[in-house]
A and B are shown apart, each in its own frame.
Chain A
Amino acid sequence: MNWILVPQQFMTGILNGGTLALIALGIVLIYKSSEVFNFAHGHMVMLGAFLVWFFAGGTSQEASGMPFALPFGVAVVAAITVAVLVGLAIERFTLRPMTGQPLLAIILVTLGLAQLLEGTTTLLFGTQPKGFPSPIDSSSVITIEVPPINGQSIVFLDRIILKQVLVVTFIVAIIAAVIFILFFRFTRAGLRMRATSENHELARSVGIKVPRVFGMSWAIAGIIATIGGILLAMVSGVSINLATVALVAFPAILLGGLESFGGAILGGLIVGLVAEMVKASTVIQVRNSAEIAPYVLILIVLIIRPEGLFGRKRIERV
């Protein structure tokens, strides 16, 4: 371990992890409510980013073809609205007809959806990566000076450099996650969703409109995905690849446990952290393993705790 690099990598890792946590939350939401692992979530994230890019009229280098460019904030609202409609449409037209079919078939449908979303996006916006009309300059940084102790540097170059955009995305992601969890925990709609997630037939028997709850889950997943997409795009621009970037949320979920929001958030932070921390290693092979490090970690965690760190344990009375 190259200790002098650790503080810098630690901070960057945590900040990266925030967005992952938010994206992971969307997948957990769908899984909790309907037991469907949504492989299309990464593509919803990508679509969200493209939508904001489109509504905001693109960038000064490349216009999006939107006749009247909207201010960034309005573009975000417009994109979220579309994402909600897309979420509702997905539930209504692809998943509801599958009710009662084997779970595997439904999960495969989400794989198909992923392709559909990718194809549609390419068709509408082309394959070229775009710049993102980010309200924050991606080159501005926040520098934290760490003075050497007894003439001995504890941090490389005596300072930790944080990209301002990463700090902002982290804060936004955490706020969004907290709002969502409060909603789930304390509102009646949240109770409806929690009940449905436990037992569909039972939820039906107490008069909960289960299809409506599913629709709502997908709509919220659309919102979360779009916010995640915006945050990713602010850091790395808009492209089809965002869907793949969002795939890193999968290890985050498995790590935290498929059914736990808290676990998804923690999982996201850990994955972000691990992917950055390996870069502080002195061994070159480890240093270059940032992409696979989270998966190695999952293997270890799942061997010890098969339900993930915070997975729901089956309640069994003895």
Chain B
Amino acid sequence: MLKVNNIEVVYSDVILVLRGVTLEVGDGQIVSLLGANGAGKSTTLKAISGLLHSQQGEVTRGSIEFDGQRIDNLTPDDIVQLGIVQVLEGRPLFEHLTVEDNLRTGALFRGVSNAQLKQDLDEVYHFFPRLLEFRNRTSGYLSGGEQQMVVIGRALMAKPKLMLLDEPSLGLAPLLVQNIFRIIEQINAESGVSMLIVEQNANVALQTATYGYVMENGRVVLDGSAEALANNADIKEFYLGIGAGGERKSYRDVKHYKRRKRWLG
């Protein structure tokens, strides 16, 4: 359903951030996008959701297609209308609004009736029973995990076909991370929403996803089924932190360094 073909993204007309990124998300699929800081993962998501424009970024080459339609020149609100909603990094909320108002903002663009809105809210509360309890609280005072729930719930209110999740695990305790990803799987299974998940936590991302891409320095360097990636020796070493035989590596270890450098080239 989503096809990103060899895109190049430039910020402020000079800074080249993405140098040929190609990826694909199929119907109902969960795909994860891995990579170190500054690899261009978030930029890729923003290119898809159209939020680049407000940050002086531009897709200068390549194309982005969603359900056969080119979307790389649409505004963010048009793209949301098509069914792609991005969950921004750092779980930003409308802090001074209540939890329920936050959720309602997600459905604003659809212009649905109050009855329909109520039904959609109930659906979100079904996935996140905690939020029902806190519906009238000022969202800024919730805990990190609860805020993440609000943010995902708000995205659900848009009735998306594809959700772009930017680091849902950021700053959460391991148990909560597991919890959030279980809910992501549940949403995917019950509502059939496709997901493109950007993660630093490769471990949990590859457990959830069926397919994965690895980015370095603005390009995709590796891709494959989640299983294949999880068993790839390089991924194991660089992302999962499991060295061959379990011993630690140092930069004096030339072989290791060269292997890593090959990726960065």
State the A residues within 8 Å of B (CB).
99-100, 188, 191-192, 194-195, 198-209, 312, 315, 317
In angstroms, how far is the closest chain B Cβ from the Cβ of A187?
Answer: 11
Contact A191/B105 with A198-B97, A206-B154, A209-B77 known, Cβ cut-off 8 Å = yes
Q: By the criterion CB–CB under 8 Å, are B88 and A207 in contact?
A: no
Q: How many residues of B contact A (CB 8 A)?
A: 30
Instruction: Please give 19 more A-B residue pairs, beta carbons under 8 A apart, in addition to A204-B51, A205-B49, A207-B77.
Output: A100-B54, A192-B105, A195-B105, A195-B108, A199-B92, A199-B94, A200-B54, A201-B51, A205-B51, A205-B80, A205-B88, A206-B85, A206-B105, A206-B155, A207-B81, A208-B105, A209-B77, A312-B96, A315-B138
Contact (Cβ within 8 A) A100 B56: yes
B159 → chain A closest CB, angstroms: 11
List, in ascending order, chain A residues with CB within 8 A of B56's CB: 100
B-side contacts of A315, CB under 8 Å = 95-96, 138, 140-141
Contact residue among A206, A312, A317 (Cβ-Cβ distance under 8 Å from B108): A206
With both chains docked as a complex, state the minimum distance between the C-beta of B114 and any C-beta of chain A, in angstroms: 10
Is residue B40 within 8 Å, beta carbon to beta carbon, of the partner chain? no
- In the assembled complex, the CB of A180 is this many whole angstroms from the nearest CB of chain B, namely 18
Q: Is the CB of A194 within 8 A of B101?
A: yes
CB-contact partner of A207 in B80, B94, B104, B138, under 8 A: B80
B106 part of interface (Cβ distance < 8 Å): yes
The prevalent SS among residues of A at the interface is helix
B76 at the interface (CB under 8 A from A): yes
Q: Which 9 A-B pairs have the closest CB atoms?
A: A207-B80, A315-B140, A207-B109, A198-B94, A204-B76, A195-B105, A207-B77, A315-B95, A202-B92
User: A100 to chain B: which residues have CB within 8 Å?
Assistant: 54, 56
Interface residues of B (CB under 8 A from A): 49, 51, 54, 56, 76-77, 80-81, 85-86, 88, 92-97, 101, 104-106, 108-109, 138, 140-141, 143, 154-155, 158
Give Cα distance in the complex from A315 to B81, angstroms. Answer: 31
Cβ 8 A contact of B96, one of A198, A205, A207: A198
Give A312 to B76 CA distance when docked, in angstroms: 28
Q: How far is the CA of A203 from the CA of B101 in the complex (A)?
A: 13
List chain B residues, Cβ under 8 A from A200. Answer: 54
- Minimum CB–CB distance from B1 to chain A (whole Å) comes to 18
Residues on B with beta carbons closer than 8 Å to the beta carbon of A207: 76-77, 80-81, 85, 106, 108-109, 158
Q: Are B76 and A205 in contact (CB under 8 A)?
A: yes
Q: How far is the CB of B107 from chain A (nearest CB, A)?
A: 9
**Taking A194-B94, A195-B94, A199-B92 as contacts, is the C-beta distance between A205 and B101 under 8 angstroms?**
no
B54:A201 contact, CB within 8 angstroms = yes
Chosen A-B contacts, 5 in total, with CB atoms closer than 8 Å, are A195-B97, A195-B101, A205-B49, A205-B80, A206-B106
Q: State in angstroms the CA–CA spacing of A204 and B53 once bound together.
A: 11
- On whether A206 and B80 interact (CB within 8 A), knowing A194-B101, A315-B95, the answer reads yes
Q: Chain A residues with Cβ under 8 A from B51's Cβ?
A: 201, 204-205
Nearest chain A CB to B174's CB is how many angstroms away? 20
Q: Which residue of A lies closest to B160 (CB)?
A: A207
Q: Which residue of A lies closest to B82 (CB)?
A: A207
Residue numbers in A under 8 Å from B49 (CB-CB) = 205
In the complex, the chain B residue whose C-beta lies closest to that of A200 is: B54
Which has the most chain A C-beta neighbours within 10 Å: B54, B101, B104?
B54
Please indicate the chain B residues that have their CB under 8 angstroms from the CB of A201 in the complex: 51, 54, 88, 92
Among A192, A202, A205, A208: residue with most chain B CB under 10 A:
A205
Max chain B CB contacts within 10 Å: which of A204, A208, A315?
A204
For the complex, what is the distance from the CA of A120 to the CA of B37, rounded to whole Å? Answer: 54
Once A207-B108, A208-B105 are accepted as A-B contacts, the answer to whether A202 and B85 lie under 8 Å apart by CB is no
Residues of B contacting A192 with CB < 8 Å?
A: 105, 108
Contact A191 B101 (CB under 8 A): yes
CB distance from A206 to the nearest CB of B (A): 5
User: CB-CB < 8 A to B80: which residues of A?
Assistant: 205-207
Separation of A204 and B75 alpha carbons in the complex (Å): 9
Please indicate the chain B residues that have their CB under 8 angstroms from the CB of A317 in the complex.
140-141, 143
